[in-house]
Structure 1
Amino acid sequence: MEAPQGGGGSDRDKPNNSSSTSSTPIPSVATFWKGTALLSHTSNFITNKKSERSAVVFVFYREDMISFSSRTGIPRGSGLDDFKFDLEKERSVLDEQGLRIAENQENSQKNRRKLAESTRDFKKASAEEKLSLFNSLLKGYQEEVDNITKRAKFGENAFLNIYQKLYEAPDPYPVLASVAEKDLKLSELESENRKMKVELEEYRTEATHLKNQQATIRRLEERTRQLEQQMEEKVKEVVEIKQRSLAEENQKTLEVLKEREQLLQDQLRQAQDSVSNMQKLHELAQSQLFEYRAQSEEDRAAKQSEVNLLMDEVERAQTRLLSLEREKGVLRSQLQSANEENGDRRSEDMDPNSILENSLSAKEKVISELNMELHSVESTLSNEREQHINEIKKLNALLNEKDFALEEIKKELQARPTAKLVDDLRKKVKIMQAVGYNSIEAEDWEVATSGEEMSKLESLLLDKNRKMEHELTQLKVKLSEKKSLLEKAESMIAELTAKVNEQQRLIQKLEDDILKGYSSKDRKVTLFDDWELSESRAEPSEKEALDSFWKMLLFPLMYQKTFAKQNSEQKHVSSDQDQSSMLKVICSQRDRFRTRLRETEEEIRRLKEKIGVLTTELERTKADNVKLYGKIRYVQDYNLEKVVSRGTKKHAEDLESGFGSDVESKYKKIYEDDINPFAAFSKKERDQRYKELGIRDRITLSSGRFLLGNKYARCFAFFYTIGLHILVFTCLYKMSALSYLSHGPEESLIGDKTIDLPHAL
């Protein structure tokens, strides 16, 4: 019975040992915070010197971020202006919090050790001592729970404080990186744009002055070779930049994967150790269970043999009791017969009867003692059976728990990556390194692609690299387009600013004229001047409506002035002066509007002429571009088999197709439409049919095309047909009315067989 208790005690002590081993990082955390505190105390002088520099850098960073937000359209209230972060203060606060956390961890470790010792003493104590030690032990656990709660609250508050301050901080890295990258790209694209402009001018001059097509083809071939060399150099530069970025990314991913691999290996090692420990514990538990079962079977057999012996003794006692009872009955019968037969010998026979009665009472006592002993043996046997059954249940429950823990560990091991998966990850990392650093040559690449080791990841990485190169070229083209749009917008802004300045000058002139004519103090004149100011601030489209409004207002006012002239001579003089001043202002404003209208008409005429010139130049440029595209296609026929960069022919074709643009596709479509034989054949057939038509059919077809193709001709034909129909209907109506009126008195005499016919008109 002592073996199970000993085993249970060892199993109970194991969690305590595990807890003590699991809490081993606490002293390391404490030493870390103490070390950081010592370093902070020793480096106060250095940090004080560097704090000013960091503050200046932070101020410049905020100014750069604000200027960048103003340039890129980012709102000012997005965290750039409101964010303030005192690094030195927060560092001191974090040092204090870290030291306090370390102290709390050390105190918690000490309290846990004390509680473990007190619990061991409590387990070892007797029942009476446990009652006295229970209150102190419970109080210790309550204090430990309170301390842990305080620790958790302190840690949560510290984390929430630092999280709240860091949550408001914007991330400067993407903004600065994008600014630097865009500035670099912008400078490169500006230089490329200048070069391309120079080259375009050279092409135009060459296209106008060229007479011989072979000479132009040779020059274009040389130029295309130079452009190909430049393009190859640019592609190499771009590829090097991409390779550097990919190398950095791959290095980071490689480090992360190595750390992950080391962590997984540590976890696998720990899991294997835990599995081996659990297997040992399981084997130990099974051996103990087998021992317990064997011991219980032996105890059961011993108890069964004891019970059998006791049952035999009980049976023997019962048989002996029955025999004694029979003897007792025989003796009583003999005693009664002896009493009846010989009354005289009573005194002599008293001694044997008393002896027999004494022996009978002694046997009854023995029987009662045997019965009591039998009952006690049965009760002890039942108690031992119950204890044995309870122990078996406990051992089965413990065995089930061990099996469940073993199954969980097996599932965890199955969920963790296997050695094959780790090897696959290593292989993928090597592939990423090779692709990132561009360490694969063309021959090695052909061997790798022809073999069976070419995985899906390699093809995906290569496709990604090609797509990135294609996107780079597209972004260059888009940037050039955006730059041209920016130049157009800047020119438009300059024109609009000049227009606004001119309008402001006109408004100022109008206000000066109004102030010169603002000499009277009458309310009507004040009202007129206010209206004049509102008119000067109105839109140009409202000027004509305001002029008509002034005319409508001035005529009744003039009549009022003439009516007031009859009443008072003084009012007439003042009103004439006011009216003359207002008329001068209105006339000056009318003259300004006329001059401005002439200027706008002249500007519209110039713009129309400019638009016509630009459209003709655009058509000419488009035709030149189509011709140049045809010549480029002719030159490219010689370079179809050339490999642009490393890799196979398929890779080269992909790179060539990746450098295409929307402009090239547009001119390609125009060029193919021009050289389309079906379109030329259909046009030729149409011209032939048109020539075969007669003169009347040609006139009808041309007039129909003119009427259907011109907007004004369609409107003229529509209104002409409507007017012609109206004229015909009115003529018919008038003719019928005149005929009715002319023949109204005449009647048809039906009875006399006379019919009045209508006279001719």
Structure 2
Amino acid sequence: MESDNGGTAQTPPNKFASALQAWSEIDLPNLQKKLDEQGLEIKREQKSSLVSRKNLAAKTREFKKLPDPEKLESLKSLLKLYQNENDSLTTKRTNVEKYFFSFYRVMAEAPDPRPLLEASLASVISSSEAETYKKEISDLKDELARRADYDQLKQRMLDSEQKAAETLGAKLTAKDDEYKALIDEKESNWQEKEKGLRDQLASAKHTIEELRTSKEVTELQLSSQSSGAVPADSAAVLAELEMATRDAEFSKKRAIELENRNENLRRELSMSKSKLDAGDFQKESTQKMFELESENARALATLSQVRSKLQDAQKHLRDKSELYERQTNQLAVEVRGLKARLEATNDYDELKQELHILRQLEFGTGDDENESGSPEFDSLLMQRNRALTKELADMRAQHDGLVETIQRLEQAAQNTSTELHHAHSINRKLERDLQEAVEAHRFNDNASMISGVSRFTGMTRGTASSDEPQSILPIVTKQRDRFRDRCTELEEEVRKQTAVIGEYKRQVRQLKNDNEELYERTRYLASNGTSGSGRRVFQPKPNMDLENNPYRQSYESKLHPIEQFRMQEQERISSRLSPAERLFISLTRAVLATRATRMLFLIYCVGLHCVVMIVTIYAMSLNTTMLPEVGLNSSTGGVANGLSGKSVMHLIFFAFIAVAIAYGYLSLNTHKMADETNKHPHQDELIVDIGGKKVPWSSVNKPHTRILDADKHKPVPNPDTFPDIEPDAKKREEQLAAERRKNN
């Protein structure tokens, strides 16, 4: 039964989950937005279709009014209008079918939301009632937990009533026994008292007898001994002593009996006290037991309530976990879809990079640059730079003027177009008025409008009265003709303005290309003018005019990607050098820039060494001449003066060797550091692809080297060497394709 219930309970959530998945895939807000856009588009198309059909109807009526020779001429235009209208209707029908099938494809598998919404509404109502019931149940459970010891209290009350009755009976029995014992005790006391009184009476009688006897004896003694009184007194004393002795014995006997009775009573009293203590302890134990039972019952009720709350919490957690699991499954499905989409578009970056490289590959082929320049090359470059700068300024001024002219012409064209639209609207209004007038006069529109009007006015003129107002139809017709002529003139002016604007745009594009070429040449001249000078110590000072030029971005976007990468790598490596190394590299580049500077540096080093050696030899000669002649001759044997010439020659020879070694070491270090500055970290193993050819990086790294074709070792000039050559990527691709076909 539980499995059946579980199965029936799991069916609605599955339906809800499938419906939720389906409607989440439908994405109703975006679908509504798309339908709104499509509806607006259909509405616009309806309006445009209505306007076009009205225009077509007007053209058809005009065609019917034309004479037969003119109908043949305007038939082609009318057929073209009908064909255009047919094409537009076909396009609209295709769009509507596409919109319908796209909507149907989305909504075909969607479940009916009505039963699900009804079930949801019922569940919401039942959930609200269930919340009330749950609250009542929780209150009742709390009340039940507080009154969990009701049965124990009731049983305890019954037990206490029964025990009270038993206790009352026991107390009555004990009281009865007590009274019986008291009565028995009193009876025994009375009997003992009676017995004692009887004994006393007997003793008194005996005493009386003895006293009587003693009296008699005394009397006899008195009679016999009349003279003596002491023996009578002694007899009385003896009698009293005997009575006192008997009383003492009786009292002693009575005391012994009382002691025995007191011991019995004390024993009974201790036994009754022990019984009373045992009863109190039992009562206290029973009370404690009842209290513990009630606490146990309350604890059991609280435990059952906590268990029910725990079960509710576990059920709530299970529902939450199922909800989270469904959401996780939905997210997993979305993630799988996104992963599939990502896998389908994983080559996006590569295609983007290839497209960027193809866009930037725009430099063509050319000859090598002549490295040996004339001495006046720098001055010629400066003059050419100034001329190009002046030309660039003129071109900028012309460009600004052309831009203003184009804006003015565009504004005039816009105004003309506005007037033309206004004239068209007035023309359409007049045509509608004319049509209404013709229909009002019941005119047969097989002939032209003017002839029809003339016939109509001729017929009506003979039958109408003299005071009838003339028709305004010829006036309106003439005004319409004037409007048509004016519209034709305006259209001709618009065509002329459009041609002028196109010419200006072509000139602007040409000026833009010329400006880009001038900017490229300016950059080249600026780089050549600053590369050979030794003014850059730490980093070259950028030319602000070139950096802020609007054509800088266009020029850099057309650079070869390998050249851009080489420039970035050179800047990165230069930025990693210390200031001392930059200063040393700048000085060495300034020294080794030209042959003249190298020769001057060599002459300077040789002259400096010669001066140092001459000063050293002169100082040594002064020191030797200052020595005493006798001491010198005696120490050297007279050959000191003869060795001075050889020493000088040896020193000069060693000085030249040192200068040559220093110059060679300096040149070697300079070229090595320059190569390290320009070299890519992975230059040896880097191969780049240029025009479908695998080219090593070492052949394109330096600015004045030649790129060798890796297949046939054909020289391809470096793009950085000849910036004056106009890029022609299409021609280069055709040449490369021809070379590949020839090689194949």
Question: Which TM class, normalised by the smaller chain length?
Answer: under 0.3
TM-score (norm 2): 0.27
Q: Whose helix fraction is larger, Structure 1's or Structure 2's?
A: 1
Q: Say which one has the larger Rg.
A: 2
